[in-house]
Structure 1
Amino acid sequence: MCNVFRCCAVALLFTGSALAASHSSAVPSSVLRDPEQQKMTDCEQQATMQSLKGEDKKKFMSQCLPAQVNPAKELTPHQLKMQACNQDADKQDITGDARKTFMSKCLKKH
């Protein structure tokens, strides 16, 4: 009796594992991911295809991620100001404390 039980238990375990494996492989990995994770993966793939590294990759990622967050959503007036000031700072290649000062002045005048 004990051997029959073991055989049935092993058969059920094997069948359940096979079903679980076939189910998980049938569902694309993008469906199982959080939308934010998927956006990060998409931007990472784009950066890799462009062979970006270091500061170039950071700059690309900082532009790519917000662009994909919710492209249909309209930006608030403050967000538009921030975006314009960030673009100006990028064009002038301002970094560090100088960027903080620039951003503060820029946001006050816009």
Structure 2
Amino acid sequence: MKTFALALALACLTTAGAFADTCAATAAGKNLAGAAKTSFLGKCQKDAQATCDAQAAEKKLAGAAKTSFTKKCVKDAVGE
């Protein structure tokens, strides 16, 4: 169990670096506001979810480990 927890912690650390900027930072850098910002953040979150799901599948995570990994991965990517 300790090995699994360590592997999960390392996976989360490497995932955080996978995104150069967060969605929020990118939107701010592009000076987006209103509907354009909402649309951009929605698409960015969908893209982050797909990327994180793929990474979880690649790591062969399932159940609670997959949920936890994906949730943190998306949160880091979106910038919440």
Calculate the TM-score normalised by the size of structure 1.
Answer: 0.31
Structure ID, larger Rg? 1
